């Protein structure tokens, strides 16, 4: 129905009639009063003289229907002010003054009974009160426009003079004479005309060259062979001239620290714990052999 003008239907009522199938319904006004010519006047479905603004020209007092609804401009956005802070005694006193003002205003307008039953939030809600306190301490409210911009308070135009008076008494804005002048250090930091003509890329390159590299190159630790002291290989490498395949040190985890072997010092078999290093030491005088076999065939 809304797009009837742009979709070629050219009638606002036609989509409704087609959806509810009102055009297919037959009137039974003749059955209601068969003796009356034309049927019952109360049951007869009469076609209205005016259909819609697309089918007929509306009278002058209905021409406003053809005018588009004006879209109001968007409201200005609120400023970002700190809300999580530890209020000072002065901030708490200002919030107390705002609360006292809204209570007195509610009692003045609606009476004491309304204040006791409903509270003072009808005049100044709690969130608006907190917003006024947050913006006033940083100097964001100084007129009616800024008060409405920062709070969107629906009573701002009505009570703005009283609220602004409280703000000016507790958080007065500094006068132009009290503004401190620009220091010499700040004036010297202003770029000159020659600096403004210099491309940004050239300035960045020059500063990078002057400062030098930010990170120094990392030094890699040198590994040394434990057998010959060379830095080209490690002890387990076959390139080492002192590498001995038969007597090379065992790999870590291949043997335990202490192994039990059978030693024959004087042709007498005994069992002694020997360390794994002694097993591979060629200078060791320990004679190693397999444990003697025991014949248990005669044992019953």
Residue 116's pLDDT is: 93
DSSP 63: G
Helix H, strand E, coil C: the string for 18-60 is HHHCHHHCCCCHHHHCCCCCCCCCCCCCCCCCCCCCCCCCCCH
Report the candidate in 49, 54, 58 with the shortest Cα–Cα distance to residue 4: 54
What percent of the chain has a predicted confidence (pLDDT) above 90? 31
Torsion of CA 20, 21, 23, 29, to 10 degrees: -80
pLDDT at 194 over 60: no
Please identify which residue in the block is written with the tokens 């070629």.
Answer: 8
Give residue 286's pLDDT band: very low, low, confident or very high (50, 70, 90): very low
Helix, strand, or coil here: 275? strand
57 compared with 265, residue with greater pLDDT: 57
The mean of the pLDDT values for the chain is: 75
Q: Average pLDDT, stretch 210-228?
A: 68
Report the candidate in 259, 266, 269 with the shortest Cα–Cα distance to residue 289: 269
Residue 246's pLDDT is: 54
Fold topology of 89-174: DNA polymerase; domain 1 (1.10.150)
Give residue 101's pLDDT band: very low, low, confident or very high (50, 70, 90): very high
State how far the Cα of 115 lies from the Cα of 117, in Å rounded to an integer: 6
Residue 82's pLDDT is: 92
Distances (CA, A) of 189 to 141, 183, 185, 206, 281: 32, 10, 6, 18, 77
Pairing of strands 270-275, 288-289: unpaired
Residue 126's pLDDT is: 94
For the chain, the C-alpha Rg in angstroms (whole number) is: 50
115 compared with 220, residue with greater pLDDT: 115
225 compared with 88, residue with greater pLDDT: 88
State how far the Cα of 91 lies from the Cα of 107, in Å rounded to an integer: 25
pLDDT in tens, 232-247: 888 888 888 887 765 5
State how far the Cα of 37 lies from the Cα of 39, in Å rounded to an integer: 6
Every domain of the chain and the residues it spans: 14-66, 89-174
Alpha helices in 152-190 (DSSP H): 156-170, 184-188
């Amino acid at each position: 129905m809304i797009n009837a003008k742009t979709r070629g239907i050219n009638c606002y009522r036609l989509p409704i009639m087609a959806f509810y199938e009102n055009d297919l319904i037959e009137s039974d006004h003749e059955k209601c009063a068969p003796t009356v010519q034309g049927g019952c006047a109360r049951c007869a479905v009469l076609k209205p003289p005016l259909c819609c603004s697309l089918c007929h020209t509306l009278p002058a007092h209905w021409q406003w229907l053809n005018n588009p609804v004006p879209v109001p401009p968007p409201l200005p956005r609120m400023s970002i002010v700190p809300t999580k802070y530890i209020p000072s005694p002065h901030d708490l006193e200002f919030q107390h003054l705002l609360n006292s003002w809204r209570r007195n205003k509610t009692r003045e307008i609606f009476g004491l009974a309304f204040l006791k039953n409903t509270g003072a939030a009808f005049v100044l809600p709690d969130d608006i009160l907190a917003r006024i306190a947050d913006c006033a301490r940083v100097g964001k409210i100084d007129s009616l426009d800024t008060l409405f911009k920062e709070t969107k308070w629906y009573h701002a135009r009505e009570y703005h003079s009283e609220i602004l008076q409280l703000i000016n008494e507790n958080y007065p804005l500094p006068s132009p004479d009290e503004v401190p002048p620009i220091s010499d250090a700040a004036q010297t930091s202003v770029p000159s005309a020659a600096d403004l003509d210099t491309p940004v890329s050239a300035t960045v390159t020059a500063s990078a060259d002057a400062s030098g590299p930010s990170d120094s190159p990392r030094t890699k630790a040198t590994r040394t062979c434990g057998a010959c002291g060379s830095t080209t290989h490690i002890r387990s490498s076959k390139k080492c001239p002192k590498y001995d395949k038969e007597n090379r040190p065992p790999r870590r985890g291949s043997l335990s620290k202490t192994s039990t072997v059978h030693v024959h010092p004087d042709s007498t078999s005994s069992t002694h714990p020997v360390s794994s290093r002694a097993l591979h030491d060629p200078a060791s005088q320990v004679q190693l052999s397999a444990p003697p076999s025991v014949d248990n065939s005669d044992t019953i």
